[in-house]
Amino acid sequence: MLVTQSQHSLGSFLDVLLYVSAAAIAAAGYYLCAQCWRAFGPSKSKRTKEEYQKVYNEIAGRLGEDYDYDDGSYGPILVRLAWHASGTYDTKTGTGGSNGATMRFGPESGHGANAGLEIARNFLEPVKGIYLKVLLYTFWSQDADSVTCKQPANFHVAKFPWITYADLWILGGVAAIQEMEGPIVPFRPGRQDRDSTFCPPDGRLPDASEGSQHLRHVFNRMGFNDQEIVALSGAHSLGRCHADRLGFEGPWTYTPAYVSNQYYNMLTVEMWKVRKWDGPRQFQGSTSQTLMMLPTDLALVEDEKMRPWVEKYADDESLFFHDFSNVLLKLFELGVPFEEGTERWTFTPTKVQKS
């Protein structure tokens, strides 16, 4: 078999390219390991409030980076992630809750109530995770004497790999609430990450197709009373339902990317009727036909003990903000074994920082 000069040159070039590629990957690996040790190695001191504020700012700065996502903000789905990570707690067994961040694993990640939350987890991943993004590869044609080399990106080491997923998810919820013009929600660090053996059983989160007694069953298990159930339901002022996730579809309010008491106003002033469609039973406004309510939402105004709180929050947004902050703090800390003396911190919203 004859070997042409061009084929010989091509072979020599590929040998050199392979050597350079191996050297680049080795160098990148060394640098990455050094960064891993710096990030995860022994620390002589605990992380400070200022360091957590930087994590907060990183999350806040990315909330609106994709204008085409839902209503232009990842905030609502971050609140849902923090909520669902915490809402599995059981006071009797001491299991579940935000400590552990076990939704990273199956079976919890596959629980029906958590459908779509991989979007929120993936959104937060670059804040903590370390990625090797060096992609050095070659293309060549067997019937051509040409080689194309591409190196599309350099590897990136995340800024805050020291924060646990469990703390990150809750801080993401806190940042989202505050950046969407909601109340200040205190945060206390100290949650630890656990493995899949700590995943709670399915069925601990609310079923949107049920009524008030189901809500009491779920929330009483976590230690919440009627007033707190209504206050926590105010999270439905944010975001929207997606038919491809839980079957339901549509937003609860006209401003789904902002925290407000509009949810309670819509419950009290709008006439809600069953929507005629092929999906699960949900309700459509008589005048606000683009909005929707779930059976668990209408249960709040149909229950004689819960309705007064709906009316109070509809009349007084400041009261709602006060109670919403308190009940979120309680929810996010359920079952977390904080070290004695761990302080609660409040973080400054980015809008205030710039003023």
User: For all residues of the chain together, what is the average pLDDT?
Assistant: 87
pLDDT of residue 307: 99
pLDDT in tens, 236-279: 999 999 999 999 999 999 999 999 999 999 999 999 999 999 99
Mean pLDDT of 149-172: 78
Active site residues: 84, 252
Structural domain spans, the chain:
48-337
- At residue 157, the pLDDT reads 64
- Residue pLDDT, tens place only, 18-53: 454 545 544 544 444 444 444 444 344 689 999 999
Residue 136 has pLDDT above 80, yes or no: no
H or E stretch at 157: strand 156-157
Give this prediction's pTM: 0.83
Bridge partners for 148 per DSSP: 139
pLDDT at 348 over 60: yes
- Supply the pLDDT for residue 316: 99
- CA-based max dimension of the chain: 92
Interatomic CA distance for residues 126 and 137, integer angstroms? 24
Determine the Cα angle at 178 with ends 174 and 181, to 5°: 150
**Domain 48-337 indexed as CATH 3.30.565.10:** no
Q: Annotate 298-327 with b (16+ C-beta within 10 A) or e (fewer).
A: bbbbebeebbebbebbbeebeebbebbbeb
Q: For the segment 89-104, what is each residue's pLDDT rounded down to a tens digit? A: 999 999 999 999 999 9
Q: Which residues share a beta bridge with 251?
A: 240
Angle at 177 between CA 334 and CA 116, to 5 degrees: 75
